[in-house]
Amino acid sequence: MEMMDWLVSMPKVELHAHLNGSVRNSTLLELAKELGEKDIIVFSEVEHVILKNDRSLAEVFKLFDLIHILTTDHATVTRITKEVVEDFAAENVVYLELRTTPKRNDARGMTKRSYMEAVIEGLRKVDAVDIDFTYTEVRLEKKGKSCEMGNECDGISRKKIHVRLLLSIDRRETLEAAMETVKLALELKDFGVVGIDLSGNPKVGEWTTFLPALKFAREQGLCVTLHCGEVPNQEEIHGMLDFLPERIGHACCLEEDAWTKLKMSKIPVEICLTSNIRTNTISSIDVHHFADLYNTKHPLILCTDDTGVFSTSLSKEYAVAAAAFGLGKKELFQLARNAVEFSFAQEQVARELKDFFDLVEERLSLH
């Protein structure tokens, strides 16, 4: 318990979190009840789906379809964005890269752009903590404002979180829809959008469909992260590694030559321990590739994937790593600090975060 408290209070960096996968169960149940009362869904049929804990990868994607029915109207998108950011801030995540798939929903008068405006509105509505999510705010910021575990110093007791957005392309989409997402990301650069993610059911579609959109994103200065190797599709894995994305997510099912290629490439890997175990993508924690990557000092970041769907938190992910791989406080802190290096944040934000980690490290005497 002492370790868990310590991990909650440790500043952390989250780089792989899907908005709709991170919704509180209580919120999902409340939304399901409302739709049940309007006869849009049958509440008793969805309650157990929301509360179920162990799901195969295929079941997870069915759950996302249900979650999207519950969440996809503008007011709800705004609500869940605010809640998700505040939940991460509550466990001392100081930098969050939140990813979400812009959705068009004609029945609700929603365009990809209006979906993203609702997300940004959610960021504006965050009030439990101070939030920075635009370039302008960063420039105006006074340095050294927030500075310790819990951020209480210089008489300022409010916590602060930096949030940046990644726009996801769903593998079910067309190239045209993916292009629209990349163009939207470029239009919203001043509202904290820093990159593009390719995600969705790994058994659906071909990643090469999206290559022109991903190349365009890169040419325009956006960072790219790809879900890579959630299923053992070696041809796709090799193609993705050859693309040299700025980061990849998961990297679970790499055969030896792909593994060697990954190691040589030094592409940082977003590791989602609980997600991989729950979906049975990795059979048990003691054979998880975290150990090899960590021991060979390959760039990696501990992430949650979907806190709601997998009933986890970033602090819990650090606790799982501590227990499974024998990491002590010093190593865990270093892991969190290193994540700043692999974020898509602008230089200035990264510098501010590194200064903050240094200050906390000094106070904790972890040297």
Q: Which residues are catalytic?
A: 230
Q: How far is CA 283 from CA 56, 252, 253, 279, in A?
A: 12, 10, 11, 9
Least separation in angstroms between residue 333's CB and ligand 6MZ is: 27
User: Does 168 help bind ligand 6MZ (rule: CB under 6 A)?
Assistant: yes
Residue 81 parent element (H or E): helix 74-90
Taking CB under 6 A as the criterion, the residue among 76, 81, 92, 101 binding ligand 6MZ is 101
User: Does 170 help bind ligand 6MZ (rule: CB under 6 A)?
Assistant: yes
Cα Rg of the chain (Å, integer):
20
Q: Is the Cβ of residue 200 or residue 245 nearer to ligand 6MZ in the bound state?
A: 200
Q: How far is CA 139 from CA 191, 314, 349, in A?
A: 13, 28, 9
Residues 268-287 that bind ligand 6MZ (CB under 6 A): 275, 279
Helix pair angle (25-37, 43-51), 10° resolution: 170
Strand bridging mode 130-132 / 160-170: parallel
Residues 217-236 that bind ligand 6MZ (CB under 6 A): 227, 230
Q: How far separated are the first and last CA of the chain, in Å rounded?
A: 23
Taking CB under 6 A as the criterion, the residue among 6, 64, 191, 356 binding ligand 6MZ is 64
Taking CB under 6 A as the criterion, the residue among 306, 315, 322, 337 binding ligand 6MZ is 306
Characterise 97 by phi-psi region: left (phi > 0), alpha (psi -120 to 50), beta (else): beta
User: Does 305 help bind ligand 6MZ (rule: CB under 6 A)?
Assistant: yes
CA-wise closest residue to 262 among 299, 217, 232: 299
Q: Is the Cβ of residue 227 or residue 288 nearer to ligand 6MZ in the bound state?
A: 227
CA-wise closest residue to 251 among 215, 196, 292: 292
User: Does 298 help bind ligand 6MZ (rule: CB under 6 A)?
Assistant: no
Least separation in angstroms between residue 312's CB and ligand 6MZ is: 12
Contact status, residue 193 vs residue 185, Cβ threshold 8 Å:
yes
Q: Is the Cβ of residue 63 or residue 349 nearer to ligand 6MZ in the bound state?
A: 63
Q: Is the Cβ of residue 167 or residue 340 nearer to ligand 6MZ in the bound state?
A: 167
Taking CB under 6 A as the criterion, the residue among 100, 151, 181, 307 binding ligand 6MZ is 100
**Residues found near ligand 6MZ in the complex (CB under 6 A):** 18-21, 60, 64, 100-101, 168, 170, 199-200, 227, 230, 275, 279, 305-306
